[in-house]
Amino acid sequence: MRKERGFTQLKVQHLTGIDQSDYSKLENGHRHLTFEQCKRLAIAFDTSMDYLAGLTDNPQPYQRN
């Protein structure tokens, strides 16, 4: 998703507050997302946490409050 949007890992860091090195480990499967990281990424990528977790194939975000 990051590459589809043309984001660098550094841009993701700026959008989410997730350290670039930690994000790299997440992308490479060396770490698992925390709930808070998943939430931040869902907002940054304009998708749902369910999509990021692989629970749905629909990348559309839910309506946010």
* Integer Rg of the chain from CA: 11
Which helix (H) or strand (E) element contains residue 20? helix 20-27
C-alpha dihedral (30, 56, 37, 44), degrees to nearest 10: 120
**Average pLDDT per consecutive 10 residues, the chain (65 residues; last block may be shorter):** 95 97 96 96 96 95 84
> pLDDT tens digit string along 27-42?
999 999 999 999 999 9
Determine the Cα–Cα distance for residues 15 and 9; give it in Å rounded to an integer.
10
C-alpha dihedral (42, 11, 22, 38), degrees to nearest 10: 0
